[in-house]
Amino acid sequence: MSGALDVMQVAGSGATVLVAEMVKSGWESLRGAMARLFRRGGEENAEVELRLLDAARQRLADSPASERADVARQLRQELLIQLAAFLQKFPDAAEDLQELVKRTGSQEEASSATLVAENNTNSQVILSGGSISTAGGSFTYQAPERPDSRG
C-alpha cells in the first residue's frame, strides 16, 4: 500500500474500529491483534503504541455517559494520527490493519441481531437473548382485551 491517501484511509478505518471496540467485551482480543501489528516496529515500539491505546481506552471508559460521544470522536482523531504515523513508518502493516478492520466488522455483523416487525397490528413482539420454550412444546400468547369503548 503506497500513497498517503491509502494510509490515511486505513488508519481512519482502524481508528473507528478501535474506538467502537474499546467498550465491548471483545476488546482484549482486538488489543492482542493490535499488539501483534505494533510488534512490526519492534518490542519497544509496540509497548509505546499499546500504552497510548490503553490510555485512550481508559479515557473513554472513564468519561461520563453525557460526554462519551465527544470523547469517542476526539479519540478517533487521535488514533487516526497514531495509526497513520505507524503506517508511515511500517507501510507493510497497512494490509494487516485493513484485514483486521474487515474481520472485526464482519464478526460484529455476524453477532448482532436484527429485528424487523412490520404489519403486526394487534400483536406483540417478543425478543429473547436465547431460546424460549415451554413444557408443552408450544407458545401461545393472548393480547390483553381492550376495554369496551361503547360506553
- What nine digits make up the cell of 130? 436465547
Q: Provide the domain count of the chain.
A: 1
- The whole-number pLDDT of residue 68 equals 93
Phi, psi of 144 (to 5 degrees): -60, 145
31: in domain: yes
Name the average pLDDT for the chain: 80
Query: For residue 100, which of 39, 15, 3, 5 has the smallest C-alpha distance?
Result: 15
Range of lowest pLDDT (12-16, 26-30, 112-116): 112-116
Q: Specify the pLDDT at position 112.
A: 43
The tens digit of pLDDT for each residue in 102-131 reads 988 755 443 444 445 555 566 555 555 445
pLDDT, position 114: 47
46 occurs within a structural domain: yes
* Helix/strand/coil for 72: helix
Q: Is the pLDDT of residue 9 over 70?
A: yes
Q: Is residue 28 part of a domain?
A: yes
Distance, in Å, from the CA atom of 7 to the CA atom of 113, rounded to the nearest integer, reads 32
Domain membership of residue 17 (yes or no) is: yes
Mean per-residue pLDDT, 91-100: 92
- The answer to whether residue 123 is domain-embedded is no
Residue with cell 471483545: 26
The domain in which residue 70 lies consists of: 4-111
Does residue 27 or residue 144 have the better pLDDT? Answer: 27
Report in angstroms the alpha-carbon separations of 138 from 46, 126, 134, 135, 141.
Answer: 56, 14, 6, 8, 10
Q: Is residue 72 part of a domain?
A: yes
Say which residue, 97 or 116, is predicted with more confidence.
97
Tell me what pLDDT residue 77 has.
96
Q: Which three cell numbers stand for residue 144?
A: 390483553
Nine cell digits for residue 120: 403486526
Tell me, yes or no, whether 124 lies in a domain.
no
Query: For 40-62, how does the pLDDT look when each residue is reduced to its tens digit (9 = 90+)?
Result: 999 999 999 999 999 999 999 99
How many angstroms separate the CA atoms of 18 and 46, rounded? Answer: 16
